[in-house]
Structure 1
Amino acid sequence: MSVKFNLSFAACLLLTGLTLAGCSSSDPLDRAIAEGTVTVDGTPLAIGDITFVDDDPSVQSDNVKVVDGAFSGPVIPGTKKVQIRGYEVVSANVPADSPEAGTTFKKQILPARFNDQTELTETIPSSGPLSYSLTTQ
């Protein structure tokens, strides 16, 4: 009898937990969706990410992936520095019989003026889609 009771109690707890977990879908940080496009020298950025960095260091930064020139993701509202990184996938330069043979990694391809030394800023939420047309020359 106690085994049956314990199983019923455990099932009830599990169901209650799952139900409550589904009830809190709101973001406690009230993020807005930042979406738009990134081109580099007129070509959509194939692989990359954008980091939105708040002026206040106590506010978390948000990272949004860029794929085929497009991005969309949640960002905490406010004025942000915009750091854009682009990558190309390259193979590790190791001998063919090495355990690392066939390994690939992402190589950062954009100049520091678009990321670590950025002067790009944005106010989130924006009034429409964001567009970054970067030139490397």
Structure 2
Amino acid sequence: MRNSSQLITAMMLLLGIIVLGCNSQAPIPKSYPVQGEVTLDGMPMPSGEIIFVSVADGIRDTVKVADGKFSGEVLPGDRKIEIRSYIAKEGNTQMYGADAEPSYVNIIPKKYNEETTLSATVTETADNSFSFEVTSD
């Protein structure tokens, strides 16, 4: 009887170790609020997105821009900033008919997205308010 009790205890201990081992995931990092404004040629950018790209590991946090304003949550750290705004590209209906989905083109120059030099540092304790001025040329 004693051996079966020890066997059951050992099996329970082994099961507990297996369950704990399977659930040991890395904790989800905490995001922090950011807000601000984006102007395009001196006017509030009507719509688009601002992407906070982590300098350390390339993680991308996207925040929508509407009427020149943005607010959302992103991971802390030094971030490269990419700004995009899309408009519908004309001409699809001629090639594919009236029911064609429009394609969109980014109207913000590459120097503000693919080749950006814009940056921001998001911290756990700061206000994290940012202002970005972009031009269409």
SS in 1 for 2:94: coil
TM-score (normalizing by structure 2) = 0.69
CA distance in 2, matches of 1:128, 1:62: 14
Q: Which has the larger radius of gyration?
A: 2
Q: Say which is worse superposed, 111-120 or 44-53, in terms of deviation.
A: 44-53
What is residue 120 of structure 2 aligned with on the other side? 122
State the number of aligned residues: 109
Partner in structure 2 of residue 131 of structure 1:
131
Counterpart of 2:108 in 1: which secondary structure? coil
Contact 2:48/2:84 (8 A) holds in 1: yes
Equivalent residue runs for 1:36-47 within 5 Å: 36-47=36-47
Stretches of structure 2 lacking an aligned partner (at least 5 in a row): 1-26
Residue 47 of structure 1 aligns with an amino acid whose one-letter code is S
% identical aligned pairs: 33
Q: In the TM superposition, what is the alpha-carbon distance from 1:91 to its structure 2 partner? A: 4.4
| Secondary structure of 2:111's aligned partner | helix
Alignment partners' CA distance in 2, 1:76 and 1:61: 9
The answer to whether the Cα contact below 8 Å between 1:92 and 1:105 also exists between their aligned partners in 2 is no
1:48 aligned residue: 48
- Deviation per CA, 1:23-54: give whole Å up to 9, x if none: xxxx9311011111101111111121111111
Question: Where does residue 86 of structure 2 map in the other structure?
Answer: 87
- Please report how far the alpha carbon of residue 67 of structure 1 lies from its aligned counterpart in structure 2 after TM superposition: 1.2
CA contact (8 A) 1:92 1:100 kept: no
Q: Is the 8 A contact 2:63 2:70 kept in 1?
A: yes
The aligned counterpart of 1:108 is 106
In structure 1, the residue matched to 2:17 is none
Q: Is the 8 A contact 2:108 2:135 kept in 1?
A: no
Residue 105 of structure 1 deviates from its aligned partner by 3.1
Contact 1:47 1:88 in 2 (8 A): no
TM-score w.r.t. the length of structure 1 is 0.69
User: Following TM superposition, by how much is the alpha carbon of 1:90 offset from its aligned partner in structure 2, in angstroms?
Assistant: 3.8
Deviation at 1:130, TM superposition (A): 1.0
